[in-house]
Amino acid sequence: MKIDFSKYKDGLAPAIIQDAKTKTVLMLGFMNQEALDKTKELNKVTFFSRTKNRLWTKGEESGNFLILESIVVDCDNDTLLIKGNPVGPVCHTGSDTCFNDSNSGDFLSELEKTISDRKNYPTDKSYTSTLFAKGINKIAQKVGEEATEIIIEAKDNNDELFLGEAADLLFHYLILLQAKGKTLNDVTEVKIKTKKVIIELQNKSLLLVWNELKTPYLYFNLSFMPYRSGDRTGLFRE
């Protein structure tokens, strides 16, 4: 990654800030090499403020930081696309974005963001922060407890209790993912990769059937193999 700051007389390149989870464009700022280096050092988005005439870390006064996720340079090497996770409103007006757009995303994205905030910025008053503080064993235990409770409610006919336990299980599952440094997107990626592997196997098996007519069973062995105990990839569960 190499951006050409020399293309601009003042040495300031535009930096587009995008929410890493919702993909919403949050704001536009300007960076020089020093601001870019400081962003990487702090892991918080830092600009060069033309009004302050100095480096300015977003949130240094309000606490509404932009936590760095990734940095990409465009094809002309003169514009930055920075993906980050906002802590609180981005705009000084209190809006989610500097374009007065909502950055709510879907419910699960919002819930994940809230859980992430409780993990990274803990408070004694938060149940979630307290659970993170107890460690992975306690979190995993809670997921097990909630899973048992939803199984029990599933055997009855009380929809309200069943849905309540389902919500509890989902909530603690998301906490467990965060505790392991993962998100629902990571889980989705595994499923996508699995489907690609299955398609590749099916395509290869078709070639085998075509080339090895004496052993057509190869097609069924590769494409429709039933679920096997101990298989954790999900490959044979389609």
Which CATH number do you get for residue 120? 1.10.287.1080
Per-residue model confidence (pLDDT) at position 217: 43
Classify the C-alpha dihedral 140-145-146-148 as positive or negative: positive
Residues 114 and 159 in one domain: yes
Q: Does any domain span residue 96?
A: no
Question: Rounded to whole angstroms, how far apart are CA atoms 151 and 162?
Answer: 9
Residue 211 pLDDT class (50, 70, 90 cuts): low
List pLDDT tens digits, range 63-99. Answer: 999 999 999 999 999 999 999 999 989 999 999 999 9
Give the residues across from 49 on adjacent strands: 54
Regarding whether 124 and 80 lie in a shared domain, the answer is: no
Condensed to tens digits (0 to 9), the pLDDT of residues 39-48 reads 999 999 999 9
For 118-131, what is each residue's pLDDT tens digit?
999 998 889 999 99
Residue 210 maps to a domain: yes
Domain housing 70: 5-86
Residues 9 and 50 in one domain: yes
State whether 192 and 153 are in the same domain. Answer: no
pLDDT at 107: 79
Co-location of 9 and 76 in the same domain: yes
Last-in-domain residue among 21, 56, 86: 86
Quote the tokens at residue 142.
Answer: 């809670």
Q: Where do the H-state alpha helices sit in 52-158?
A: 107-120, 127-134, 136-154
Structural domain contains residue 233: no
CA dihedral sign, ordered 123, 91, 1, 22: positive
Coil, strand or helix at 71? strand
List the CATH number of the domain containing 49.
3.10.20.810
Whether residue 101 is contained in a domain is answered as: no
Residues sharing a CB contact under 8 Å with residue 89, sequence separation 6 or more, in sequence order: 64, 95, 96
The whole-model pTM stands at 0.51
In-domain check, residue 71: yes
Q: What is the per-residue pLDDT for 223?
A: 40
Same domain (yes/no): 16, 40: yes
> Largest alpha-carbon pair distance within the chain?
78
Q: Report how far apart, in Å, the C-alpha atoms of 144 and of each of 6, 11, 226 are.
A: 57, 55, 27
Q: Does a structural domain hold residue 235?
A: no
Residue 227 pLDDT more than 70?
no
CA distances for 51 relative to 18, 43, 55, 56, 232, angstroms:
23, 23, 10, 10, 56
Q: Is residue 231 in a domain? A: no
Task: Supply the pLDDT for residue 225.
Answer: 40
Query: What is the Cα–Cα distance from 42 to 237, expressed in whole angstroms?
Result: 44
Shared-domain flag, residues 171 and 122:
yes
In a domain, residue 234? The reply is no
pLDDT of residue 109: 79
Domain count, the chain: 3
C-alpha–C-alpha distance, residues 154 and 125, integer Å: 32
Based on its alpha-carbon atoms, the radius of gyration of the chain, rounded to whole angstroms, reads 24
Angle at 39 between CA 34 and CA 42, to 5 degrees: 120
What is the structure's pLDDT at 35? 97
Q: Is the pLDDT of residue 17 over 60?
A: yes
Q: For residues 191 and 168, what is the distance between their CA atoms, to the nearest angstrom?
A: 24
Residues 139 and 161 in one domain: yes
74 in the same domain as 45:
yes
